[in-house]
Amino acid sequence: MIKTFNDGILRDYGTFVVATPRNLPHLNDSPFGLPLNWHIDPLSMASEEFLNLLQRLDALTFGPEGMPMDKWVFYDCAELPGFIYGFAMPASELTAHERELFGASPGYDGPVPISMYIAIPMYEEGTWFGHNLASLNRTFPDRGLHHLGSITKAIAMKAFKVERFVGATQWESKALYIHTKFGPLDLETTYTPAHSIEETLTYAHRVTEDCLRAAAGDPDVTLARPTPDLFLDAHDVEGMRALQDEIQSGARFVLCGAPAIEGASVVHPIHRAG
């Protein structure tokens, strides 16, 4: 079994996967020895309530300032081509307040998701694109769900059998505190006009047993990181564009650590790799 920042999550909550019957055999259904408790078939009408709760989980995590997903996005971009993996609990264990927040039907007694990780398989074999990470750590502070997001992503990537990972997020996103736990990230873009939010970075890294264990919080694993050569302010659009110009001219940069707070600014440590 994997060691984590918060082993109580593995002890007190079960795991689920949303996957079609055709995709399910391709899943590692016991990542790090953790059993799978619930399989949700998106092709079945019986899954309607759980899938509604997944959409509610997304809304509770990101709120009105986020990029909420329509149900068709879940279906077209995750449930059919890949998997949705996360932690859940039986509806019977919800408090009255939690049930109200979720809007669960009065008679529903199935699993209720408290986290999810969505990744989409890419054409390159073994490569997956990270689409959505959601957790109720901050929404349900009394449950002691600290580090739920990091643990969910690490175990999900093991379940999906990811070999190379690609992700995209914004320089201002707090999710970078999680993503950088997986080790140095190769920067494929630093400024991305193809995205709705141009101040988006695209990153990639090889997935190893050590990087997953480190991200989940195993104290026995330490990842090597290069020394930063420069720091990029999360609001420095001209700096993002300048780095993007260099990348397109053949330069290589690595995001080598978590964001840091310097006064009123959030800065990112970057290593020039070539």
255 and 270 in contact (C-beta within 8 Å)?
yes
98 shares a domain with 228: no
120 shares a domain with 87: yes
CA 148/CA 144 separation, integer angstroms? 9
198 shares a domain with 122: no
> Which residues on neighbouring strands pair with residue 168, listed in sequence order?
202
203 shares a domain with 131: no
203 shares a domain with 150: no
78 and 131 in contact (C-beta within 8 Å)?
yes
184 shares a domain with 139: no
CA dihedral 165, 63, 141, 263 (to 10 degrees): 80
91 shares a domain with 153: yes
Residue finishing a domain among 162, 181, 199? 162
Going by C-alpha positions, the residue among 202, 186, 190 that lies closest to residue 274 is 186
19 shares a domain with 83: yes
Q: In terms of residue numbers, what domain contains 61?
A: 1-162
Summarised one tens digit per residue, pLDDT across range 11-47 is 999 999 999 999 999 999 999 999 999 999 999 999 9
97 shares a domain with 68: yes
Residue finishing a domain among 122, 137, 162? 162
Number of independent structural domains in the chain? 2
Strands 265-272 and 115-121: unpaired
Total residues belonging to the chain: 274
Task: Encode burial over 127-153: b for 16+ CB neighbours within 10 A, e otherwise.
Answer: bbbbbbbbbbbebbeebebbbbbbbbb
Phi-psi bin for 112: left (phi > 0), alpha (psi -120 to 50), beta?
beta
CA 213/CA 234 separation, integer angstroms? 28
Summarised one tens digit per residue, pLDDT across range 68-108 is 688 899 999 999 999 999 999 999 999 999 999 999 988 89
Question: What is the maximum alpha-carbon separation in the chain?
Answer: 59
**What is this structure's pTM?**
0.94
8 shares a domain with 117: yes
For 169, phi then psi, to 5°, come to -155, 175
Token digits of residue 262: 């310097």
6 shares a domain with 138: yes
* Tens-binned pLDDT, residue by residue, of the chain (274 aa): 899 999 999 999 999 999 999 999 999 999 999 999 999 999 999 999 999 999 999 988 877 555 668 889 999 999 999 999 999 999 999 999 999 999 998 889 999 999 999 999 999 999 999 999 999 998 999 999 999 999 999 999 999 999 999 999 999 998 999 999 999 999 999 999 999 999 999 999 999 999 999 999 999 999 999 999 999 999 999 999 999 999 999 999 999 999 998 888 899 999 999 8
121 shares a domain with 221: no
Residue finishing a domain among 125, 140, 162? 162
